[in-house]
Structure 1
């Protein structure tokens, strides 16, 4: 059961009812160790209506074929690599895939420059190691080792942030499905159902690129930015609604108009062109992702709720959007001022937004 005081429940907790409903109606073949069939996992991700009329909410809005390829990959002996620019829902998709396939999204290794080999393979309780020597009791299992023993999904976040020598410890695990423990003269063999979902940032190429040997062990699925303004507005509105409930923020009646405005600004600056195609624009140094748009709107809702009349207005999102765009105080500020004067100022229906951004800037 989910504790109501938890700020962000795991996917398998938050959507337990939908997962149980899908399992009840799921009469299709399931790969070994899977809680649901590949069809049901895809339905859980993309949403749909079940035979009894119950509706499953969409977790990912994007091309169906991409999710089908991702789910099919997990049903084979290859690992899955979700690749994309920041804010394309790689972590979100990874978590929900793990929740639907194995019922547990918590077996996670966070990749950083300081991630050690022990975080991927195993470590030791050094007090017991010194007192008793190497033993099963002194062994500290990594999330991957636990996933291998259980026959379920392990997740690796920001794979290319990990040092190259640590990345390469995955090769034996992914190819042989075995993790040797030479100190105990034994090994852990993966049970059926074990697989790995990794994520990597498209902009991190050149940080710690994957070796060709490791890359061959993954099937790569590139998650794109939303195709249209409407898709991105839908994604932002859904996530803001979920976050607003978790933070107990009041609903903003006029929120959709401001969401569309923020999304439009981000898409224009990201693409280097105004919506009507008439004005070329310089792009700032930041990514201006969908995730950042969600953050801007959520912050605006907090302002509207606690310092306004509860209605989301231009003044509530102006500060957040300027902060998201102007990452570099020199070059980005020039880009932002130029955008305000050449695009925003020329839109009569955006006068309130123009004034609010000018005041903040």
Structure 2
């Protein structure tokens, strides 16, 4: 009897990560921007505010190096966000789910500090330790409170290094834990009473938080904490063409990361998915003639990206390699119908009143009805 033992991949041989950090994916662009950037930089910033905005919105450098757009939206909105980080006010990115809050937060941190990983993920179970500091309890019991026993939070590390800390879903964190940020943001210090010491933030330190008020279990910010943030609201794309461009770009990136074959005709179905989402969000058909019920789902750009990516996987592995209506129908119905009663009614009405009369959408109508 023979047995074969498959080698377990080590970190050096395990291949590329599924989802690299922004500073890894766009390292070449960040390096080129830093080399071409001759404008004043705030302390500990890797790039000037102008270069950070260029990194996010894209452009062409003086030497001809192209910089890809990471965010499609108002330039003034991005400028306000970047300018906030250069002041003593923290930045709160607010918007409905799927408006690229986390995406923008990550890229801002990568461009400003060269590091986007100083992250606190907000949940109902987040404790003060995640924002302030914790302890290595084995050392604490053996030695008592000491610097060696202290476990710094991402916020503390950012304060010590003059970097950007990120807090995702701030309003999901319990209110009493949120308030641990007040001293950090107002005094720029983090007391450690167990050691009779404190951490004073270096210049360049700041916080980017994200939040939305559409999910259940939201904890409103206290007025004291809200005053310490400058709020920038990220809207859903205003124009259909912008949303199609965003979805196309992100789907191409994700398909490359997942090693899915390229689908040359994806644009037609991407535009169809975007049209469906926009009509259902607005409660009005694209021609403005028909009013329809809106489902409870957000139907954000991020969800459109997910629907199309799932369709690409179906087309690549179980289809003919060409993205078709049937490939996106299943994911689309799942994205729209969250409530099996009220959302199903809205979806059925939309299919009959808006989709069915469109002759060039006949295959899409049939595919959605088959899935349903």
TM-score normalised by structure 1 residue count: 0.99
Deviations 1:214-265 (A, max 9, x none): 0000000000000111000000000000000000001111100000000000
Q: Does 1:7 align with 2:13?
A: no
Deviation of the 1:206 alpha carbon = 7.6
Distance 1:238 1:50 in 2: 21
Match of 1:54 among 45, 65, 74: 65
Within-5 A mapping of 1:181-192: 181-192=192-203
Distance 1:130 1:29 in 2: 48
Match for residue 31 of structure 1? 42
Deviations 1:145-198 (A, max 9, x none): 000000100000000000000000000000000000000000000001000000
Aligned Cα RMSD in Å? 1.3
Distance 1:292 1:7 in 2: 19
Match for residue 273 of structure 2? 262
TM-score normalised by structure 2 residue count: 0.96
Deviation of the 1:2 alpha carbon = 12
Structure 2 unaligned regions, length at least 5 = 1-11
The number of residues matched between the two structures is: 361
CA contact (8 A) 2:172 2:217 kept: no
Match for residue 115 of structure 1? 126
User: The residue matched to 1:114 in structure 2 has which SS?
Assistant: coil
Match for residue 342 of structure 1? 353
Deviations 1:73-115 (A, max 9, x none): 0000110000000000000000000000000000000000000
Deviation of the 1:5 alpha carbon = 2.1
Deviations 1:124-163 (A, max 9, x none): 0111111110000100100000000001000000000000
The list of structure 1 runs, each at least 4 consecutive aligned residues, that deviate by more than 4 angstroms after superposition, is 1-4
Deviation of the 1:203 alpha carbon = 1.5
Distance 1:235 1:264 in 2: 14
User: The residue matched to 1:322 in structure 2 has which SS?
Assistant: helix
Q: Does 1:215 align with 2:226?
A: yes
CA contact (8 A) 1:160 1:204 kept: no
Deviations 1:60-82 (A, max 9, x none): 00000000000000000110000
Structure 1 range deviating more: 198-207 or 140-149: 198-207
Within-5 A mapping of 1:241-252: 241-252=252-263
CA contact (8 A) 2:102 2:168 kept: yes
CA contact (8 A) 2:337 2:344 kept: yes
Structure 1 unaligned regions, length at least 5 = none
Deviation of the 1:202 alpha carbon = 3.2
Match of 2:144 among 120, 133, 144: 133
CA contact (8 A) 1:2 1:14 kept: no
Distance 2:15 2:280 in 1: 39
Match for residue 296 of structure 1? 307
User: The residue matched to 1:109 in structure 2 has which SS?
Assistant: strand
CA 1:242–1:3: 2 relative to 1, 3 Å: farther
Match for residue 155 of structure 2? 144
